[in-house]
Structure 1
Amino acid sequence: MTNKKSAIISISTLVAIFAVAINMRPAITSIGPMLDVMREELVLTNAQVTLLTTLPVVCMGVFATLAPLLNRLLGLRNTMYSMLMVVGLFTALRGFYANYAILVLSSIFIGIAIAIMGPLVSAMIKQRFPDRAASVIGVYSFGMGVGATMSAGLTVLFYEKSGSYPLALGSWSLLSIIGLVFWSAAMLNRGGVKKSVPVQVYKSQTAQVSPWKVKKAWIFLLFFGLQASAFFSIITWLVPIALAKGMTLLQAGTLVSIMTSVQIVLNIVLPLLMERFQARKLWLIILLLIGFAAIALLWSGVSTFMWIGAAMMGVPLGGLFPAALVLPLDETRTPGETNAWTAMMQTGGFILAGVVPLLIAILYDYTGNHNYTFMIFTLLFLGMFILTFIIGDKNGSKDS
C-alpha cells in the first residue's frame, strides 16, 4: 500500500469515527433542555420525564457486551450500519409521535444501538491507530461533544421557532444520514478493521483473562461510571436548575451551550496533552479541582457566578470522558482485549450513570430542593478524586 493510499484510508477513517460519534449523544442530551416543557405538556413527574434520559444510558451499559458478539456475527461494517439506522429511525419517530410510550420505546432502542457502537469504535481505534490511540480518542470524544453541544443548545432554539418539542427532538435524526454517508465512504476506502478482525477478536477474548476478574478493570469501571454520572446528571439538570434560579428557557439553554462549547474543546485538547505530557494523575486532579470550583459557583445561585461556573464545568466534563476512555487502551494489548475491557467498563459505568439522574429527579420530586442535586454532584467528583490516586499514572504494566 502506498503512503498516499494509507493517508487517504486514515483520514477517511478519522472522519467516519467523528461522523459516527456525533450521533451518540443528541438523542439523550436534547431531552434535558426540554425537561420542564415535556413535563408540563405530558403531565409527568420529574422522575418520569428524567427516565427518558436515564433509560438509554442504562441500556448503554446493559447491552454493551453485545458489541463483541455482533462484531463476530455481522462484522464491524454491517453492525455499525445497522446501529446508525436504529438511532436515526427512532430519533425521527419522536418527531411524529409525541406520546410518552413512544418516547420511552425510542429511548430504549437508541440506548441499545449506542451501547453496541461504543466498544466497537474503541477496538477499531486500537487496531487502526495503535501508536496514536489517545489522539484518535480525542477525535472520537470531540465528535460526541459536538453532538451534545449542538443538541443541548439548538434544541431550545428549534422549540422556540417551531413551538413543537417533538419536532425539536426528532430533528436530530438527520445526523444519522451524515454518519451513514461517511461510514460508507470509509468502508469503500477499506478504512475499517480488517476482514479477519472478528476471528481475531474471538481468539483474543478466549486467550485473555476476562476483565471481570481483573481488579484494575473494576476500578476503571467505577471511575467511568462516576464521570458518566456527572456528565448526564449535569447535562440533564442544569436547565431546570437555571430555570429555578429565575432564568428564561433561552437563557438556560445558552448556559448549557456555553458549558458544552468549552467541553468540546477539552474533548480533543486533553487527549493531545495527555499524549504529550503523560502525567495522568496530575491531569485528573486538575480537572476535578476545577469541577469542585464550578459546582460551588453554580450552587451559589448568583447569575454572574452561574455563567462562570457553567464555563468552568465544561472543562472537567470535556476532559474526564476521553481520559476515562484512554484507560483501557493503556492497559490492553490487542483490539479484542480493548473491546472486552471497554465493553465491561461501559456496562457497569453506564448503568450507574443511568441511575444517578433518576435519583436526582426522585429527590427533587420529594423535596423541591436542588441543594440535594448539588450534594450529589459533589459526591460524584469526590469519588473520582479518591479513585484518581488509586489509578495513578501509566506505568506500562499490564498486571492487575
Structure 2
Amino acid sequence: MREKRQARVGASPRLMTGLVLLALVMVSINLRPAITTIAGVMDQIPDVFDLDPALLPLLGTLPVLAFGISGPMGPWLARRFGTGPAVAIALTALAAALVLRATVPALLLPGTFVAGMAIMTASVLVPQIVKANRGTGWWTGLCTMGFGLGAALGAGLVQPLQQSFGGSLAGALAVWAVPALFGAVLIQRTGRRPTAALAAAGKATAAAGDASTPRWDAASSAVVPTAPAMPLRKQRTAWAVTAFFGLQAMLYFAITSWLAVYLVSRGLASADAAALLAWFSLAGLPASLLAPVLASRPAILRWMAPGLGVLVAVALLGVLVAPAELQFLAVGVLGIVQSAGFGLAMALVVIRSAGPQSAGRLSAMSQGFGFAAASLGPLGAGLLHSMTGGWEATFWALAAEAVVLAGAGFFAIRGPLVRVDEVGLVAERDMSTIGVAATNPAAR
C-alpha cells in the first residue's frame, strides 16, 4: 500500500507539469487572434463598422500601443493575486473586449485597445512561468508556437466563420471570446496546485529538515535572498534584449497589419490574401518551436541572433519582388524567419535572466518598451504607403529595420545575465514560484 501511495505521489508532479505546459500553450494561442482576425478582413472594416478609412492605420496600431503602456500590469497583478489568477483575469478581460468591439460599432477602437492591454498582461507572465518551472527550450518553443498557431487560426478562419454566421463579420470576430474563456478557466484551475518543480523543491527542503519553512497562504511570502542587483534600466543586456524584442515585434505587426492589403494591391482576391496571411503564420510554426531549442545551445546562439535579422531583410525583399504566382513561397519563407525571430526573442528573456523574478521583470521591460516602439510599425508602414502611393519604400524601410535587428541580436547575447533581487510576495498557489508549498500541511 505504501509503495502504491508513493507511486501516486510521484506521478502527480509530472501530471501537474504537463497541465501547466498545456495551460501555457492554450494561453499563447489566445494572444494573437484578436489582431490577425482584424487584419484578415481589414478591407471590410470601414463599411461594416462605419469607420473612416483614414483610421485603419490606427486600428492596426492600437493593440500594439496598448502593449507598450500596460507592461507593468502583469507583474503587478501577479504580486497581488498570483500568476495563474493574473493570467486568468487578463484572458477574461480579453474575452469581454472581443465581444464588445464586435457587437457595438462605437466600441471597435476602444475594445481593440482593451484587448491589447489584456494580451500584454498575460504575455509578460509566460516567460516568468517558464523560468520558474525550469522549463527547457522546448517549453518556450511550444509557447511561441502557440502564438503562431493562434495568429494563423485567426487569419485563416475569420472569413470561413463569417460565412458560417450568414455573412456576419461581428459573429466571426466575437466567437474568439470562447477559447479565451476556456484558457482562463484552464490556467486558473492549473494554478491552484504546486507545479512539479515546486513539489520537487519542497521534497528537497523537507529532506534537509529546514525549520524555517514559511507559510504559503495569500499573506505569506517566499524570500529568496540574492546579492543586490543593479536597477534593470542600468543593465545593458536588458536594453539589448528589449531592442531585439521591440524590433522584431515592429516588423511582425507591420507585416500582419498590411500584408493582406499589399497582396490585394498585387491583384489577389481578398480571400486569397487572407489565406496567405494565415500561411505566413502557419509556415513559421516549426521555426517558432525550434528556435528556442536551438538558442539554448551557445554555439548556435552566437550566429543565430544576428543572422536572423539578415534573413528577415532578404525575405521581405523577396515578397516585394516575387510575382503573384510565387507569393505562396515568398510569404512562407518570410513566415519562417519572422517566427524564428519571435521565438528567439522569447527565448532570450529566459536565457539571459538569472531567475524567475528576473525573467518576469525582463519580460515586462522588453515587451513593454518593445511593444511601445512596435506600435510605430503598422502606423509607419501605412503612412509611408499613403505618402508614396506604392509599397517599395515601405518594404525597403522594413528591410533596413531588419538589419538593425541583426545588430541588436549581436549585443543581446553578450554581457552578464540580467539580475534583479529574487525577493517578492508570492501566493501559495502561484504556479510561477519554486518553493516548499508541497511540504506545508496547512496548504493541503
TM-score normalised according to structure 1 size: 0.90
- Segments of 5+ residues of structure 1 without an aligned counterpart are none
1:41-75, Cα deviation, whole Å (9 max, x unpaired): 44545551232231111111211112222212222
| Counterpart among 11, 26, 48 of residue 19 in structure 1 | 26
User: Could you tell me how far 1:187 is from its partner in structure 2?
Assistant: 2.5
Correspondent of 2:176 among 165, 169, 172: 172
Q: Is the 8 A contact 2:288 2:339 kept in 1?
A: yes
Deviations 1:161-198 (A, max 9, x none): 43222222112111113202321341244349965799
Q: CA deviation at 1:138?
A: 0.9
Q: Quick one: structure 1 residues 198 and 35, their matched pair in 2 at CA, closer, same or farther if it must change by over 3 Å?
A: farther
* Superposed displacement of residue 96, structure 1: 1.8
Instruction: Kindly tell me the number of residue pairs found equivalent between the two proteins.
Output: 395
Q: Read off the aligned partner of 2:246 and give its amino acid letter.
A: G
* Partner residue, 2:209: none
SS at match of 2:17: helix
Supply the RMSD in Å over aligned alpha carbons. Answer: 2.7
Matches within 5 A, 1:4-153: 4-42=11-49, 44=51, 46-97=53-104, 99=105, 101-129=106-134, 132-153=135-156
2:385 to 344, 360, 364: 364
Q: Which residue of 2 aligns with 1:234?
A: 255
- The answer (yes or no) to whether the contact 1:293–1:309 under 8 Å persists in 2 is no
Q: 1:222 aligns with which of 211, 227, 243?
A: 243
> Does the aligned pair in 1 maintain the 2:237–2:418 contact within 8 Å?
no
In the alignment, is the contact (CA less than 8 A) between 1:290 and 1:312 conserved in 2? no
Deviation at 1:202, TM superposition (A): 8.7
Q: 1:78 Cα deviation (Å)? A: 2.2
Name the SS of the counterpart of 1:30 in structure 2: helix
Write the distance in 1 (CA, Å) between the matches of 2:119 and 2:254.
18
Structure 2: which amino acid aligns with 1:142?
M
Letter in 1 for 2:113: I
User: In structure 1, what is the Cα distance between the partners aligned to 2:58 and 2:419?
Assistant: 39
Q: Judging changes above 3 Å, is the alpha-carbon distance between structure 1 residues 202 and 21 closer, same or farther for their aligned structure 2 residues?
A: farther
Q: Which has the higher helix share?
A: 1
**Residues 124 and 192 of structure 1 are in contact (CA less than 8 Å); yes or no, is this contact kept in structure 2?**
no
Matched, 1:186 2:190: yes
Q: Which residue of 2 aligns with 1:269?
A: 290
Q: Is the 8 A contact 1:281 1:388 kept in 2?
A: no
- Map residues 379-394 of structure 1 onto 2, 5 A cutoff: 379-392=400-413
Are 1:298 and 2:302 an aligned pair?
A: no
Deviations 1:248-273 (Å, cap 9, x if unpaired)?
A: 01111111122111112211122222
Give 1:392 deviation, angstroms: 4.1
Match of 1:326 in 2: 347
CA spacing shift, 1:202–1:300, aligned 2, 3 Å: farther
* Residues 133, 329 of structure 1: 8 Å contact kept: no
Q: Name the residue aligned to 2:396.
A: 375
Q: Give 1:374 shift.
A: 0.7
Indicate the residue corresponding to 2:436 in structure 1: none
Q: Does 1:346 align with 2:351?
A: no
For the 8 Å contact 2:244–2:412, the answer to whether it is kept is no
What is the CA-CA distance between 1:205 and the residue it aligns to?
10
Compute the displacement of 1:119 (Å): 2.0
Please say if residues 22 and 147 of structure 1, whose CA atoms lie closer than 8 Å, have aligned partners that are also in contact.
yes
Contact 2:78-2:86 within 8 A present in 1 as well: yes
Q: 1:28 to 1:59 in 2, by over 3 A?
A: same
**Structure 2 length normalisation: TM-score?**
0.82
* Letter of the 2:262 counterpart: I
Task: Tell me which amino acid in the other structure corresponds to 2:130.
Answer: I
Q: Provide the secondary structure at the position in 2 that maps to 1:369.
A: coil
* Identity across matched positions, percent: 23
User: Does the aligned pair in 1 maintain the 2:85–2:188 contact within 8 Å?
Assistant: no
User: How many angstroms apart in 2 are the aligned matches of 1:317 and 1:144?
Assistant: 12
Question: Per the alignment, do residues 202 and 222 of structure 1 end up closer, same or farther by CA in structure 2, a change over 3 Å counting?
Answer: farther
Residue 441 of structure 2 corresponds to none
User: Does the CA-based 8 Å contact 2:88-2:184 persist in structure 1?
Assistant: yes
CA drift at 1:207: 4.3
Instruction: Provide the C-alpha distance between the structure 1 equivalents of 2:226 and 2:108, rounded to a whole number of angstroms.
Output: 36
Distance 1:80 1:216, change over 3 A: same
The runs of at least 4 aligned residues of structure 1 exceeding 6 Å deviation read 196-206
Question: Deviation of residue 201 (structure 1)?
Answer: 8.4
Equivalent residues of 2:349, 2:363 under 8 A apart? yes
Q: Is the 8 A contact 2:306 2:408 kept in 1?
A: no
1:274-285 → structure 2 map (5 Å cutoff): 274-276=295-297, 278-285=299-306
Give, in whole Å, the separation in 1 of the partners of 2:79 and 2:180.
Answer: 24
| Aligned-residue offset at 1:312 | 0.1
Q: Which structure 2 segments of 5+ residues have no match?
A: 1-5, 199-215, 421-444
